[in-house]
Chain A
Amino acid sequence: MSTSNNIAQARKLVEQLRIEAGFERIKVSKAAADLMSYCEQHARSDPLLVGVPTSENPFKDKKPCIIL
């Protein structure tokens, strides 16, 4: 019956919200600081950020072979 379904759904929602309400949150300033720190630490090894030298680029333009 749809009424008992609705009640079951409502119970599930309340249970879920109880779990989420109990979560311990950190300050956004701390979260942001950690994100910035991670990005900074890994920036130098991020090829799309710093660029890839042609000699090391596996996707560099293929030159046609010239048969001499």
Chain B
Amino acid sequence: MGEMEQMKKEAEGLKTQIEAARKAVNDTDMASAAAGVAPAPRVQLKTRRTLKGHLAKIYAMHWCTDNRLMVSASQDGKLLIWDSHSGNKVNAVPLKSSWVMTCAYAPSGNLVASGGLDNMCTVYNLKTPVIKTVKELDAHAGYLSCCRFLSDNEILTASGDTTCALWDLETGKQTTVFLSHVGDCMCLALSPDNNSFISGACDSLAKLWDIRDGQCKQTFLGHTSDINAISFLPSGNAVVTGSDDCTCKMYDLRADQEVICYQDAALNSGVTSLALSMSGRLVFAGYDDFNCNIWDSLKGEKVGVLSGHDNRVSCTGVPADGMCVCTGSWDSFLKIWN
């Protein structure tokens, strides 16, 4: 048998082994286990703010850790920094490339970053008298779909070139490249303890990575199309994904498998974005059909809907204090609900 044949055989054997090991611990599913839990209350949130200012589709938004400021990115070629309490624009950052797909706020509040079809992640300092570009991170061979700061010195990126990367912001170089996906990486989320991150890609897989050693530790199967959105549960033991297959799924990291699927026969739009409430009980998922559906994460039931946008909901975010949920849309508006 040639080496290729041998390896194919070994790969198939290992896949079967993993499937059997997952089955062996699959003594229940989340919904059944939660049968005795009181249902989440019917969630009816009101629009408290409608943030108007962008002139084109909004693609991304991210809360600052102060629970008040947020950054949004639009293909009108701008990042806008908003004071969500007053509804006022605090800053506007003109972008070199208007084809932006992601933005992020550093935990310190000092920096923001953005990127998209320019294949670069550009980092800006908001605290200098005039907003300055501090770095242009240029090494990906495909579009930048997502970025998240670990600190003012390190940022993680996900790219259409199928890799994720950790960058040193002083040198502007990649410290680590995370290789394993075979489709465009579309999203990433940091674990609460900052030691690992999870990525979702067009190969319909979610992967858990060790940030320091660059190793893919676990791979989660189940989706049948691109994974566009991903988030850790606050406990750090599970992740929720949203996909073009119109479903969201929760994967438990320690059981190494899907434990519940959030789906509805009436829903046939892809999931673009998602965010969790502070306890992890509620999943806010944005869809192509202009709505944001609210799911009971334990029981898998739909408990509410945020309707109000006139186009696809492209991004969702809950601040660290859990006081509200923000939705951003192709209709060029951001809405704050609670």
Interface residues of A (CB under 8 A from B): 6-7, 10-14, 16-21, 23, 25-36, 38-43, 45-49, 52, 57-61
Contacts and interface: CB of A to CB of B under 8 A. Distances in A.
Interface string B310-327: 000000001001111100
Given A28-B26, A28-B255, A31-B252, A19 B322 contact: no
B338 interface: yes
Interface residues of B, number: 65
Interface centre among A25, A26, A40, A57 (most CB of B within 10 A): A25
B280 interface: yes
A25 B237 contact: no
22 contacts: A10-B11, A17-B10, A17-B14, A18-B14, A19-B216, A20-B219, A21-B18, A21-B21, A29-B28, A32-B30, A35-B233, A35-B237, A38-B233, A38-B279, A41-B279, A46-B277, A47-B322, A48-B45, A49-B41, A59-B84, A59-B323, A59-B324
A36 B338 contact: no
A25 B4 contact: no
A46 B41 CA distance: 12
Contacts of B278: 42, 45-49
Given A28-B25, A28-B252, A59-B336, A13 B281 contact: no
A45 B282 CA distance: 13
Contact of A28 (B28, B68, B218): B28
Contacts of A13: 7, 11
Dominant SS among interface residues on chain B: loop
Interface in B35-65: 37, 40-41, 43, 45, 48-49
Contact of A29 (B27, B37, B41, B277): B27
Shortest beta-carbon contacts, A-B, top 3: A32-B33, A59-B48, A42-B279
B4 A26 contact: no
Given A23-B256, A35-B233, A38-B280, A48 B43 contact: yes
B254 interface: yes
Contact of A10 (B7, B85, B282): B7
A58 B26 CA distance: 44
A1 to B, nearest CB: 13
A43 B279 contact: yes
A65 B3 CA distance: 79
A32 B234 contact: no
A61 B8 contact: no
A33 B256 CA distance: 15
Contact of B254 (A6, A26, A42, A58): A26
B33 to A, nearest CB: 4
B85 A29 contact: no
B17 interface: yes
Contact of B255 (A26, A36, A38, A48): A26
A27 to B, nearest CB: 5
A7 B235 contact: no
B295 to A, nearest CB: 13
Contacts of A21: 14, 17-18, 21
B30 A59 contact: no
A32 B29 CA distance: 8
